[in-house]
Amino acid sequence: MESVALNLAVAFVKILVILGIVLGVGAYLTWVERKVAAHIQRRPGPMVVGWHGLLQPLADGLKLITKEDLFPRYGNRFLYNLAIVLALVPATLVFAVIPFGPEFEVFGYKIKPILTDVNVALLLVFGLGSLAVYAVALAGWASNSKYPLIGSMRKAGIIISYEVAITFAVMGPIILAGTLSTYQIVVNQIEQKLWYVWIQPVAFVVYMFSLLAETGRVPFDIQEAEAELVTGFTVEYGGMKFGIFPLVEWYIEVLSLSAIAVVLFFGGWSPLNIPFLGFVDPLFFLGPLSPFVWFLLKVTALFLFILWLHWTLPRYRIDQITEMAWKIMLPLALANIVFTAVIAPLIWK
Amino acid sequence: MVRLLIFTFFSLWAIVSAIGVITFTNPIYVILWLLSALIAIAGIFFTAGAELVGALQLLIYAVAIAVFYVFVLTAVPWEKAVKKSSHYRTEGVLSFPLILLLYLEIAVVFLLGVTASPEGQLRGLIEKFGNTEVVGSILFSKYFFAFEVVSLVLLIGMIGAVLIGRKENQTYEDDTR
């Protein structure tokens, strides 16, 4: 009985820590994004509220919360609000299966920095990730307005196409690791002394394309193409209800999928890798903290890379997006699975 | 004890959602009830220790299949969706004998399955190798033929869909070129 209570307590603390980190960091990434975008375009970005605009997210949040709650007259209020819940909950649930670092000991009690180390973690990630499509479709339909409907249909089409591509892309690393558990995948990479990106570059590229498409980042942000659709499925939302959607799509989902990419392709919390030889850790002086720092560094680098793409590229047309998914990405991912199946025994030995 | 409680919770959730599916008239709500029922069933699978089936239930039924209903329904005009009267009263009454027949079949299959299933043989395997591996090895050894036939059926369905969905170049003038 005592161990059940202890387990529950540990799980509760983990949930609080993860939620705090995810939502807090998610809000502050708006500031990061605005700064990065500004510097890419050679302007200073937010500078007024706080030092270099550091308090800007708080000011934004205050403004969004105090705004009038507008609602389209012939819309469906219940579904309109339900869409927000359906957007936020699955996106945050994904963090339950992300391993932040190796197992460590506190007061003689072993703790894995992952909420639930289930056997089928990756399937859950993609199941939960694609539940987001309901939020988009419902938001578009419940608003009872033309632009949101068109935007949500586009987005739903994109998610359905790329969900297939991303699932096949991650098959490569799964075959190499021989497990679906995210924690075990990282452990296996460390044991095999190999970041899977070295022999799965194709899978990584397909994964990145799908990541951008699923989260609605440029060049795939056709569902909110400002020039044609205003902001797509969020047109009829105001205040914080509007704020939730970009927060979930652009930050929380990008974070979770980047973390999964780091787990699958960059060896999770392991330091720099020389293929088949071992790991080099320039951050050795941090001691037991170094794995966590490495994980954070990798996720940050990936996030900044996505921001860089976002603020440099123009967007694709909707037909180009779906064509690419079915005619290029899916065949590439399938060819990669065949290639992986051939070389996998060499890695396993 | 805890397991029984969780199982009861998910079962009640699934039953309530199933009732919701057949009592609500607005098609969007019906789809949401269906989604809720599918998630509850995934929960039952997780409680039973069948993580792989549970995750696949989420991934394939709750997302891949139910989402297509949403996709179609978002194209349904608003006025039609909120209309109260149903068109399918007579069909509903007529389908009643068929439903009874199907229930009978489920009962027969269940009774046959209980006597036929190898009791406790798989448990040891699952504890030794884990869920996914056992399903994979059984699927690709004992049930390999059935598995391949099913995938052939799916392939035929896909070819049919592509055939229906392809562009008919002959039927209309193509001015876009």
Say whether B74 and A156 touch across the interface (CB within 8 A).
Answer: yes
Stronger pLDDT, A197 or B72, i.e. the higher one: A197
Q: What is the pTM of this model?
A: 0.82
pLDDT at A310 (0 to 100): 84
- CATH says B1-83 is which class? mainly alpha
Task: Note down pLDDT in tens along chain A; length 349 residues.
Answer: 567 777 788 788 888 888 888 878 877 888 888 888 888 888 888 888 878 878 888 888 888 888 887 777 777 788 888 888 888 888 888 888 888 877 777 766 777 777 777 777 888 888 887 787 888 888 887 777 778 888 888 888 888 888 888 888 888 888 888 888 888 888 888 888 888 888 888 889 999 988 888 887 878 777 666 666 677 777 778 777 887 888 888 888 888 888 888 888 888 788 877 777 777 777 777 777 788 888 888 888 988 888 888 888 888 887 888 888 888 888 998 999 998 888 888 777 6
pLDDT mean over B106-121 = 75
pLDDT tens digits, B4-23? 888 899 999 999 999 888 88
Say whether B73 and A141 touch across the interface (CB within 8 A).
Answer: yes
Cβ neighbours of A7 (radius 10 Å): 10
Q: Does A124 touch chain B (CB under 8 A)?
A: yes
pLDDT tens digits, B85-98? 656 677 778 888 88
Q: Does B30 touch chain A (CB under 8 A)?
A: no
Q: Where are the domains of chain B?
A: 1-83, 128-166
Give the end-to-end CA distance of chain A in Å, rounded to a whole number. Answer: 43
In angstroms, the CA B22 to CA B101 distance is 19
In degrees and rounded to multiples of 5, residue A83 shows phi and psi of -60, -35
Say whether B55 and A144 touch across the interface (CB within 8 A).
Answer: no
pLDDT tens digits, B38-54? 889 988 888 887 778 88
Note the residue count of chain B: 177
Cβ neighbours of B59 (radius 10 Å): 23
pLDDT at B77 over 80: no
Say whether B71 and A140 touch across the interface (CB within 8 A).
Answer: no
Q: How far, CA to CA in Å, does A101 sit from each of A48, A112, A291? A: 37, 8, 6
Angle, vertex CA A202, rays to CA A197 and CA A206, nearest 5: 105
pLDDT at B123 (0 to 100): 65
Say whether A119 and B74 touch across the interface (CB within 8 A).
Answer: no
pLDDT at B169 (0 to 100): 61
Say whether B55 and A153 touch across the interface (CB within 8 A).
Answer: no
In angstroms, the CA A260 to CA A269 distance is 12
Q: Does A171 touch chain B (CB under 8 A)?
A: no
Binning pLDDT at 50, 70 and 90, where does residue B149 land? Answer: very high
In angstroms, the CA A337 to CA A173 distance is 9
pLDDT at B16 (0 to 100): 93
Q: Does B134 touch chain A (CB under 8 A)?
A: no
Q: How far, CA to CA in Å, does B55 sit from each of A114, A123, A127, A261? A: 18, 6, 7, 20
Mutate to test the interface with B, among A1, A141, A150 (most CBs of B within 10 A): A141
DSSP label of A247? I
Burial class (CB in 10 A: 0-12, 13-18, 19+), A216: buried
